[in-house]
Structure 1
Amino acid sequence: MRHFCIWLGKFVLLALCLIQLCWAQDTLLVNKQQFTLDDFVTFGGKTIKQVKVGWESYGKLNEDKSNVILITHFFSGNSHAAGKYSQDDAKPGYWDSIIGPDKAIDTNHYFVISVDSLVNLGVHDPHVITTGPASINPETGKPYGLTFPVVTIRDFVNVQKAVLESLGISKLHAVMGASMGSMQALEWATAYPDWVARMISVIGVGQADAWTTLTLEQWAMPIRLDKHWNHGDYYQRQIPVDGLTASLMMITQQAMHPDYINAANPQHWPLEAAPLNDINQSHQVVNWLKNAAQARANIMDANHLLYLVRANQLFIAGHHDKLEEAMKRVKAKSLLLPSHNDLLLMPYMAKQVHQALLAAGKSSQYAEINGPMGHLNGVVGIAQHSSTIAAFLAAKDSL
């Protein structure tokens, strides 16, 4: 019996090693690449010189360049949608569960590409390449600060279009994005309808309504109130880290659902000793959220957050007509996947787009993502709709 146990132990160990080896071989390894535009004219008519953005891709571009799927990222995200930069990375890109060989977005068939946005929040992340207020203005040799032009979701799309055109791409098999990425996906379908055969909007919205605009303004307020913000001119001074941390705390909480936060903090008790005995002390759950926000603040920039807020506040699909009129220009088949318990971009916002598309005689599907995390279901729970996404991508072109 002893010899059998030793043999079994060795067998299990060998099996685990083989499994780990297979996982390592299946890991999608990616590289960040850089794209530069000498001059970029914004939707508002301002010129930005030497625009630089990062991009990464998965899979291979086919001969006629017809297998392209563009992934547009969310507010605090970047172009790292799948895979790892090295085998040692702690975790892969945010949608690795659906992007890769034999997954819903199958990189055996599709060339998947994603681009860092202008004014990307993670400007100090070594894997992010972006141009924004923290960048050096080539005309002054100093950071732009608030002299950087206001940018819009259309500008994010136009930079992506320039990247694609540099690769000889002139049509998208599909465009798909979550949250702020959903805005970009829908903007693609309305601004450049002849490019887009399929559009997938995850935890999405067609316009920033009054409620959403006020919510976004709350994200900006702590930064503007930080004593070190100095009207955006802080790059050679003390940075407004307290304001940025407070903003990130608010964003993170609103992107979650009470069920998740309560479950993640089972030790919470209203009458905790520290806050009971000292007004300067906080509850455990407050420290939990603050510590997470502080860790993220290290790679982010306060002014970039303000510019992202404004881009989202200015959003309406098409950047011109009413939403209903903009949907008439869409030629793509559309799939809308809101989160059932989203408290940030609530399901009614996706339903508004879906109904406007149907009213315009367009092809639109609607299904909800379930899970405990609210808005973040669209990131961590997307795999539950793998079959829906795969079937949608495989459907015949509408163009």
Structure 2
Amino acid sequence: MRYFIACLAWCWALGAQALPLVEKQRFELPSFTTQSGATLKQVAVGWEAYGKLNADKSNAILITHFFSGNSHAAGKYSDSDPLPGYWDAIIGPGKAIDTDKYYVLSVDTLANANAFDPHVITTGPASINPDTGKPYGLSFPVVSIRDFVNVQKALLDKLGIKKLHAVVGASMGSFQALDWAVAYPDEVERMVSVIGAGQMDPWTVFGLERWADAIKADPAWNGGDYYAKGEPKAGLDRALAYIIYDATYPDGFNSRYTPPTDEAPKLDIHAGFKSVDELMGHAAIRAHYQDANAILYLVRASQIFVAGYSGQLEDNLKRVTAKTLFMPSTHDRLLVPQMARTTYETLKKLGKDSQYQEITGPWGHLDGLVSIQTQAKVLKDFLDN
């Protein structure tokens, strides 16, 4: 864990300048109808922004966040924060996403995993249903990547932003970025998909199902009705351990955890390994602010993803007019590079302006966060030209 945090701190230190302190803002909708046909009342999400919006509102870049992330993409809330937002290495004055040029904003998703983080604002299964006065639990409707996009669109409409200079997102954020380019082609000039894909495949759907199964197997989950008694901690910890494991390539993983040289497992089938205990400890730390039901909803939103929400990917990609850049991680085991390459190749076949550049590092999927600065010039050139 210390090495991983050190990587993040090093990434931040590479930046030319620090951003001013960041303020979390609140966006509300009196109602919102999901793609599944349900209408939610009193919807709220958090958002934050860096840089200044120019007079004609043409310099906006939207950052769409990953599965277990939130809208805190860069900067700090206070000087005492131990680390800045997850992409501080590339967002800020003089950086690849240059806040001297661009107005950069990011939005918490519906059903955000970090429902209990005081810096996150999200309507999700842990929220109070205004019709019952109790948490939604599993009565919360299925939400999709398109729903996340449409809430972001509503915020941009309120801000008077008619066109985005770019949409940039990593992992689940890449799903949103590409869906933006399909859903609102006249409003997106550039799209960057980092460690992403154009649609899910059966192999990935099953991998994600393991995350949900770990939660549902915990008796404390109680069919999603656990808010009065507390989180299904064992199941949530296990799910987050799977997420960490799946997102990490062996090189990075093995540098982070103790080698399996324990003596006790040689003698006792009940004995565990120190490395497993370390991973579970890290998962427990991450679980502190997360909601188990929200994980289930984000798993489902990811499993049903195809850019365009429904139909065939190639047909949907015909709608794209934006320049696109795909930046998968060479060693990604969660969203393997071929998923991004296939989408890139389809766009090229359709005569679209598309680029492809892999990110190489020891962390696999996580290289889209901790190693993206190695391709900062590629990203900056794409955005500035």
Is contact 1:342-1:374 (8 Å) kept? yes
**Number of the residue aligned with 1:394:** 384
Rounded to whole Å, the distance in 2 between the matches of 1:305 and 1:264 is 25
Are the counterparts in 1 of residues 18 and 75 from structure 2 also a CA contact under 8 Å? no
Superposition TM-score, scaled by structure 1 size: 0.91
The answer to whether 1:38 aligns with 2:53 is no
Match of 2:314 in 1: 324
Does the CA contact (< 8 Å) of 1:53 and 1:117 recur in 2? yes
Per-residue Cα deviation, 1:312-350 (whole angstroms, up to 9, x for no partner): 011000012211111110000000000001001000000
The code of the aligned residue for 1:363 comes to D
SS in 1 for 2:36: coil
Q: Does 1:383 pair with 2:349? A: no
1:287 aligns with 2:277: yes
Q: Which residue of 2 aligns with 1:334?
A: 324
Q: RMSD over aligned Cα, in angstroms?
A: 1.3
Please tell me whether the aligned partners of residues 28 and 82 of structure 1 are also in contact (alpha carbons under 8 angstroms): no
Q: Which residue of 1 aligns with 2:344?
A: 354
Contact 1:59 / 1:109 at 8 angstroms: preserved in 2? yes
Matched residue, 1:269: 260
Report the alpha carbon displacement of residue 288 of structure 1 after superposing the two structures with TM.
1.0
- Return 5+ residue gaps in structure 1 as ranges: 1-22
Q: Which one-letter code corresponds to 1:59 in the other structure?
A: G
Match of 2:20 among 24, 28, 40: 28
Task: Number of aligned residue pairs: give it.
Answer: 371
* Counterparts of residues 112-261 of structure 1 (less than 5 Å): 112-261=104-253
Aligned to 1:35, the other structure's residue is in SS state: strand
Q: Which amino acid aligns with 1:65?
A: K
Matched, 1:365 2:364: no
TM-score by length of 2: 0.94
**Counterparts of 1:32 and 1:278 in 2: how far apart (Å)?**
51
Name the residue aligned to 1:13: none
- Structure index of larger Rg: 1
- Matched residues in 1 for 2:137 and 2:120: separation? 19
Give the Å deviation of 1:274. Answer: 3.6
Distance 2:243 2:171 in 1: 13
Identity between Structure 1 and Structure 2 (%): 58
Report the alpha carbon displacement of residue 90 of structure 1 after superposing the two structures with TM: 0.2
Task: State how far apart, in whole Å, the 2-side matches of 1:159 and 1:321 are.
Answer: 22
Asked whether 1:71 is paired with 2:57, we answer no
Aligned to 2:40, which of 43, 48, 51? 48
The one-letter code matched in structure 2 to 1:55 is W
- Aligned residue for 1:287, secondary structure, equals helix
Tell me, which stretches of 5 or more residues in structure 2 are unaligned? 1-14
- Residue 277 of structure 1, CA deviation: 4.5
Measure, in 2, the Cα distance between the counterparts of 1:90 and 1:309. 29
